[in-house]
Amino acid sequence: MKYRHDKVSDVQIAYIGGGSRGWAWTFMTDLALESRMSGTIRLYDIDKEAAKANEIIGNHLSGRSEAVGKWEYKTYDNLNEVLEGVDFIVISILPGTFEEMAVDVHMPERLGVYQSVGDTAGPGGMIRALRTIPMYVKIAEAIREHAPNAWVINYTNPMSLCVKTLYEVFPKIKAFGCCHEVFGTQKVLKGILEDTYGMEGVSRREIQVNVLGINHFTWFDYASYKGIDLFPVYQEYIEKHFAEGYKERDTNWANACFACAHRVKFDLFLRYGLIAAAGDRHLAEFMPGNEYLKNPEMVSDWKFGLTTAAWRKEDLKNRLEKSRKLLAQETEVELKPTGEEGILLMKALCGLERVISNVNIPNSFGQIPNLPLNAVVETNAVFERDAIRPVVAGKLPDAIKALVMPHIENHDYILEAAQNCDRETVVKAFINDPAFAGKNCSREEIRSLAYDMIDATMGYLPGGWK
């Protein structure tokens, strides 16, 4: 990197999963809108044709007159080459295909287990992790050899296990996980504040929060706006609007399939006293399976949705068609801020800003003192030149800690299972998971499900599983 007049040039960014038809365009947009950084985006993907498409799309975008951030996009053939000498590494991959995800999400329905996402918690999240961990072992080994001082930004789910694997393989890695779910809850608080006080133009970033928990099961125990304690405001709004929930105004960060009325987070506030800070479809999967995900009718009553594999396949078709149009220049990437913070955090790590944002890293500093030190937790952190300084968020209340701990235990079980190709440790994690609460299924039925799900994803598992 080269510094000059409060700008940094020749920034080298490796993008693993650079053939993405979606997130990559978000990344490109934010880069094109940032005037204080420039450099090279090195694209690497097992689907080289997809990466080459994004090379063309990215270079065309960077060449537009309104793109103030100038970047050169290049496709690389192998992992070691793309990493050599880079400053930042972005990892955003799909472990497997939507055929495997169909198994993750829908096979557990034979035992009455419904999953609204299936990529983080529950049986679907755990089987996805078994596919993902071997990939992350290889990535971490390559980073250790070719870019040990680079900052590594992970966007892949299951977030906690991806970050945990990186540190397990390379303890000195400078890796962190980025997730926008906290931003979505800040937007809800912003909207409720505007409704309550007749305000306009409140910025999401002006909603100050203390973040604590694990990815997709995060909580606020503090929320404030310019001296206003938002907890009483939130409680009063819930008491008036619990039945209908809250209607999203700004859905830039989501889409119709992911929309919810936030009734699950309203209910969790009434039960536990903290503001649950993720989308309802994520929050529901961390709770006992008979509470919000008993059946599709219950899901509908709580006003969120089940993200089916069929929807994801249809969405992929739409994104492939968008990729074709972008390549043919029949359409353009829209240049407006996406609301993500990845580029802002890179600027801070380059020394151009000082930023406080939520981050997923190991609990090594005791950010949440009553959770294990080896757990990957989500709290705020200060980002500044070549440093991330996690904020000590404080203890989780005992009742919420009791909800979190089975998932932290399962992170350990699944990492162990992936390392040892051990089916029975996967079974142990399934039995421990709250998704099976109230489902009236036997241990043997759960074991059979675990074995069948492992067999169904065998094409993406190391040979030791066979």
Is-contact 42 74, C-beta < 8 A? yes
Query: What are phi and psi for residue 148, nearest 5 degrees?
Result: -65, -20
Is-contact 39 12, C-beta < 8 A? yes
| 180 flagged as catalytic | yes
User: b/e map of 229-264 (b: 16 or more CB within 10 Å)?
Assistant: ebbebbeebbeebeeebbebeeeebbeeebbbbbbb
Partners of 383 in the β-ladder: 355, 388
What is the distance of C-alpha 5 from the center of its chain?
Answer: 34
The rounded distance, in Å, linking the Cα atoms of 26 and 316 is 16
The rounded distance, in Å, linking the Cα atoms of 450 and 444 is 10
Tell me: cis bond preceding 158? Omega within 30 of 0 counts. Answer: yes
Is-contact 425 133, C-beta < 8 A? no
The amino acid occupying position 396 is L
User: 416 in helix, strand or coil?
Assistant: helix
Question: Which of 106, 146, 180, 282 is an active site residue?
Answer: 180
User: 12 in helix, strand or coil?
Assistant: strand
Answer positive or negative: Cα dihedral of 390, 224, 336, 63.
negative
Q: Considering just the CA atoms, what is the radius of gyration of the chain in Å?
A: 22
The rounded distance, in Å, linking the Cα atoms of 398 and 402 is 6
The rounded distance, in Å, linking the Cα atoms of 415 and 235 is 39
With 0-12 CB in 10 A as exposed, 13-18 as middle and 19+ as buried, what is 21?
Answer: buried
The rounded distance, in Å, linking the Cα atoms of 26 and 6 is 25
Angle formed at CA 215 by CA 211 and CA 218, multiple of 5 degrees = 35
Neighbours of 42 (CB within 10 A): 26
Give the active site residues. Answer: 180
